[in-house]
Amino acid sequence: MKTFDIKTGWKKEVVAYALIVVGSALFAIADVMFVNPYHMAPGGTFGLSNVFNALHPWGITYYNLCMEIPLLIIGFIILGPRFGVKTIVSIICMNLFTYLMEKHIWGYDPVIHEGIMQHIYSREMTDLVAIPGQELMEGAMLRCFVPDYVLNTLVSGVIYGVAIGLIFRSGATSGGSDIISMILHKYTKISLGTLVMIVDGLITLTTFVAFGQIKLPIYSLVIIFIEGKLIDLVVDGMKGYKTVLIVTTNAEAVRAYLLEDLHQEGTLMEGHSLIRGAEKQVVYVALNRADMVKLKTNLHKIDPSAFLNIMESTELYGAKFGQLPKE
């Protein structure tokens, strides 16, 4: 019976909570310094909080807690104790760092801009953006800035993605609108991924309703797209793997190539042709991108009649790919 390694277990826990802290700090930086000044809302309760705080200044953290806490309670009642300690810690850290950034460290000034100036506010303002934290009243003198939407969207999407990716990698989630999606999933049976996109998509549209500019939800959606790609990169790493099925009549040669040239292990299965019942062998193997290219280049030399099926693999466990998850 395998015993639990206390030292290794503690190290993993320390690393996990360190990832939560770093990820939460990066999230606060992205939200307060890049997303909030541009009046964008890339999903989640923080996205809604950005919109509310731009319209009626109070504090991103305060607005978010007013939504986050009830959602956690409702989620606990409907879904049960599904939210672990790490998720609770991540929610606390994200709100804490956001509070420090907006109230004590930075404020609401943008990092990326082409000049800050005073301007009289009107609903028709298009070239300037009012810095959040001010009452948006017609005719009021506000601090505004000349925006660079493209660069700001790219930078904020990258920081958001790295931040959430680190939190996910720790084994936690970010809460917020994910809880809404999970509740809807329980009653509608629509896939969770689809519901997350729907909920976050609706949240991005609040920027158009609030500020009357269609470019705001569009840029918010671009942030979500970049964020998703970076999350995958952080969680899964740079090495992408492909799962390969090779149907061949020359299994020995394929086996020799995989073992001797690519140094890859695999599984050999027996099969039969549907038409004539002829015997065939099926080789199952997982390869990284570099070895995948080598296999495609050389397989025709080994067996010109082979059938090759390549599939994306998002998660692999066992053998060289690491231990199977315990939970």
> Among 284, 287, 278, 285, which residue's Cα sits nearest to residue 249?
278
Half-sphere exposure of 272 (CA within 13 A, CB side): 5
Sheet-wide strand order for 129-130: 116-120, 141-145, 129-130
Q: What is the pLDDT of residue 219?
A: 97
Confidence of residue 277 (pLDDT cuts 50, 70, 90): confident
Q: C-alpha distances in angstroms, 253 versus 82, 95, 256, 283, 288?
A: 50, 58, 5, 11, 20
What kind of fold does domain 241-321 have according to CATH?
A: Alpha-Beta Plaits (3.30.70)
In angstroms, the CA 82 to CA 120 distance is 49
Distance from C-alpha of 91 to C-alpha of 178, rounded to nearest angstrom: 12
* 30 or 175, higher pLDDT: 30
pLDDT tens digits for range 114-142? 999 999 988 777 789 999 999 888 888 99
141 within 8 A of 120, measured Cβ to Cβ: yes
Check pLDDT > 90 for residue 290: no
> Around Cβ 236, how many Cβ atoms within 10 Å?
16
Instruction: Decide if pLDDT at 240 tops 80.
Output: no
pTM: predicted TM-score of the whole model, two decimal places: 0.78
Please give the helix or strand (H or E) that residue 295 lies within, else none.
Answer: helix 289-302
pLDDT at site 45:
94
Token couple for 325 = 């998850």
Decide if pLDDT at 280 tops 90: no
- In this structure, are residues 89 and 20 in contact, taking their beta carbons and an 8 Å threshold? yes
Question: Domain locations in the chain?
Answer: 6-236, 241-321
User: How many Cβ atoms from other residues are within 10 Å of residue 202's Cβ?
Assistant: 14
Q: Which two tokens stand for residue 299?
A: 């397989």
**pLDDT for position 79:** 80
Is residue 1's pLDDT more than 50? no
41 touches 171 (CB < 8 A): no
Tell me how far apart the alpha carbons of residues 192 and 174 are, in angstroms, rounded to a whole number: 15
**In this structure, are residues 121 and 140 in contact, taking their beta carbons and an 8 Å threshold?**
yes
pLDDT of residue 7: 55
Q: Which residue has the higher pLDDT, 6 or 300?
A: 300
What DSSP string runs through 246-286? EEES-HHHHHHIIIIIS----EEEEEE-TTT--EEEEEEEE
